[in-house]
Amino acid sequence: MSRIFCKISILSLCILLLTSCSYKNTAGPKSGENGNLNVGEGNDVVKSSKSNKLSIWGYDPAWVKFRAEMKKKFPNLELKFIDQNVDITNDFLDKAAAGNAPDVVMLKAEYRSIGKLHYMDVFDDLLNPPYNAKEIMGKFSKTQLCFALSPDGKKLNAIPMAQYPSVAYYRKDILEKYGFPSDPDELGKYMEDPDNWLNMAMELKKHDHWIAQWLTEPSDIYFRNKGFYDNNFNYIRKGPEVERILYASRVMRQFELASNIGVWEPSGQEAISSGKLAMIYMGSWGEKKLKEWAPKSKGLWRVTKLPFGANAFDGFHVLGIPKDSKNKEAAWEFIKMVIDNENKDIKEAYDKKNDYLGGQYSEKLYAELRKRLPTVYFTPLEIKFDGLWQTELQNYYGFNYEQLNDSEAVKFIEGRFDETFKRELNILKNYVKSQK
């Protein structure tokens, strides 16, 4: 085993032991969730070996063209892409613990991976030599960097890629037909009020058009990738805005406003093509899926911001170099190449009309929404948090809390979090304090 994996991560072990005694998530543990990860400190520059292979966990079709560019700088280098379509956190931790980590890892920036890896010293600090990433920090927003920095903000674990803001795609012709705003800006403003969104859902339902797939749609929209606590471990899913979301969910249940049609099923894609689903909520990558699912609807769809004043992203990755990488110089060059190419593509798309979306400048909207994305803080407890949250929401939807109004329900759920996770949160607080 590599010398850089010579110590046990005491924090990760404590957290995993404690969470196993608290709220039990419905999903069972995956391979590698044992907390026995050996970690070290600092960048092991010596590990930049003479390996002629660059192993990359993650894949994008656009990366194929980098083979030739990398050959110019590293003539004997072979790029080996390992496509990962699922969360690879546990597999990566297994490999890292055994000293067999890849050279580059692309991880989803979401609670399943970032929350856990934030507190584990498994990546090189890209602020230090030989990377010196301070030179390119200005390219990234604060929102992007909160997924790449360590909890104390002192270490850069990874380089963030572009975020896909969550948006609402809608059938302009259908909304116009039934008297609702169809201009993207006007519709976005209209849907900030949950009552307007609910009114639209009720009216369109009469004509077998739907703007919600599931009963949980308001919560899914508003809380997507939002976390549960701020950087001082204060619970944030509370207050009037959260009460409005629970209210919208309650009305949806009362009037049966969910279609119960999933877009990832053939029936859902048919519903998109026919206009039965007249509004869907996805990351900005969704326009490619619409073209695939409903090619004959070209020109009928538009895109606007999310309802309820929500700002969220749905799709975002970071690129890290494991401490055990055997080709660090090439790994860093590859990451810079990916980021530069991605920024170039976004810039070129900014002034282009989107023919499928009726000539709308969709990339301009996405760029504006990226600026509004909130800073998010994830912890190793996020999967447990989400398990309790989903349980409490189901209790609320099922009228198990029928005696509570929306405000009381929000406070009750906050109390459940406090009583369930108080001990684990104290451990995290003390750990973060010790690092300052």
Q: pLDDT tens across 159-194, in order?
A: 999 999 999 999 999 999 999 999 999 999 999 999
In whole angstroms, what is the distance from residue 160 CA to residue 140 CA?
7
Q: Would you state the structure tokens that stand for residue 109, as one six-digit string?
A: 């920036």
Assigned token pair, 240 = 């009037």
In CATH, what number does 7-163+316-349 get? 3.40.190.10
DSSP annotation string for 292-354: HH-GGGTTTEEEEPPGGG---BS--EEEE-BTT-S-HHHHHHHHHHHHHHHHHHHHHHTT--B
Between 3.40.50.720, 3.30.830.10, 3.40.190.10, 3.40.640.10, what CATH number should domain 166-313+378-426 receive?
Answer: 3.40.190.10
Alpha helices in 56-139 (DSSP H): 66-73, 89-97, 114-117
DSSP SS3 for 107: strand
Which amino acid is it at 330? A
Q: Where are the beta strands (DSSP E) in 70-197?
A: 78-82, 104-108, 159-160, 166-171
Cα-flanking dihedrals φ and ψ of residue 317, to 5°?
-130, 160
Instruction: State how beta strands 317-320 and 159-160 pair.
Output: antiparallel
Each domain of the chain, given as residue ranges in start order, spans: 7-163+316-349, 166-313+378-426
CA distances from 172 to 123, 178, 214, 368 (A): 46, 10, 22, 21
The structure's pTM equals 0.86
Which position has the token pair 């070290």? 40
Report d(CA 201, CA 187) in Å as an integer.
13
Identify the pLDDT of residue 380.
86
**For residue 70, how many other CB atoms are within 10 A of its CB?**
19
What local confidence, expressed as pLDDT, does residue 415 receive? 96
Handedness of CA 227, 264, 166, 217 (dihedral sign): negative
Question: What distance in Å separates the CA atoms of residue 225 and residue 234, rounded to the nearest whole number?
Answer: 17
pLDDT of 23 reads: 47
Neighbour count for residue 363 (Cβ, 10 Å): 20
Of all helices (H) and strands (E), which one includes residue 53?
Answer: strand 53-57
Q: What pLDDT was estimated at residue 86?
A: 56
Considering Cα of 20, then 431, then 136, then 43, what sign does the dihedral take? negative
Question: For the segment 2-60, what is each residue's pLDDT rounded down to a tens digit?
Answer: 443 433 344 554 555 444 544 444 433 333 333 333 333 445 544 445 568 999 988 88
Confidence check: pLDDT of 436 > 70: no
Cα(first)–Cα(last) distance of the chain, in Å?
30
**How would DSSP label each residue in 244-279?**
HHHHHHHHHHHHT------TTSHHHHHHHHHTSB-E
**pLDDT classification of 429: cutoffs 50, 70, 90:** confident
Which of 40-54, 86-100, 138-152 has the least mean pLDDT?
40-54
Strand-by-strand arrangement of the 166-171 sheet: 279-283, 166-171, 301-304
Type of residue numbered 150: S
Question: What mean pLDDT do residues 109-123 have?
Answer: 76
| Topology agreement, domain 7-163+316-349 and domain 166-313+378-426 | yes
d(CA 304, CA 275): 17
Averaged confidence pLDDT in the chain: 86
Residue 351's contacts (CB-CB under 8 Å, 6 or more residues apart) are 361, 364
- Nearest CA to 61 out of 83, 77, 45, 40 is that of 83
> In 10 A of CB 414, how many CB atoms?
18
pLDDT band at residue 225, thresholds of 50, 70 and 90? confident
Per-residue pLDDT at 26: 40
